[in-house]
Structure formats: structure tokens, C-alpha cells
Amino acid sequence: MSSDHFVATDYNGDRLKPGSVPTVFPPWMGKIQPFKEIQEAVWSIPNRPRTG
């Protein structure tokens, strides 16, 4: 976390107030993988022999 994730009222001078919670997050621009792709990837994992 950096100071970018806090608002001015979270600070007491140059220090964070106790209990301050980061609340500022820029929009996420990453790719969201469709559920079908995730499901296919999981089912394509070969079965591994159990140990123990």
C-alpha cells in the first residue's frame, strides 16, 4: 500500500491515523477471464497419483 490509497482525512500530520483503512483504488484494467475458460483449464489438469 502507498499513500495513493488513503484520503487526506486518514492522516494526522504526515502519519496515518490508527485504524485508517485504504479506500482509494483506481479502476482495474486487467482482463477478467470468463468462467468457461477457467472451468476448461481446471478440467484439463491431469490426475496425479495420490501420495501418502
Cα 25 from Cα 5, distance rounded (Å): 6
Cα 11 from Cα 20, distance rounded (Å): 8
Cα 11 from Cα 21, distance rounded (Å): 11
Helix H or strand E encompassing 11 = strand 11-12
pLDDT tens digits, one per residue of 2-39: 888 999 999 999 999 999 999 998 887 777 767 777 77
Instruction: Reply yes or no on whether the pLDDT at 46 is more than 80.
Output: no
- What pLDDT is stored for residue 36 in this prediction? 78
- What pLDDT is stored for residue 31 in this prediction? 74
Sequence-ordered list of residues with C-beta below 8 angstroms from that of 20, at least 6 positions apart, any chain: 6, 10, 11
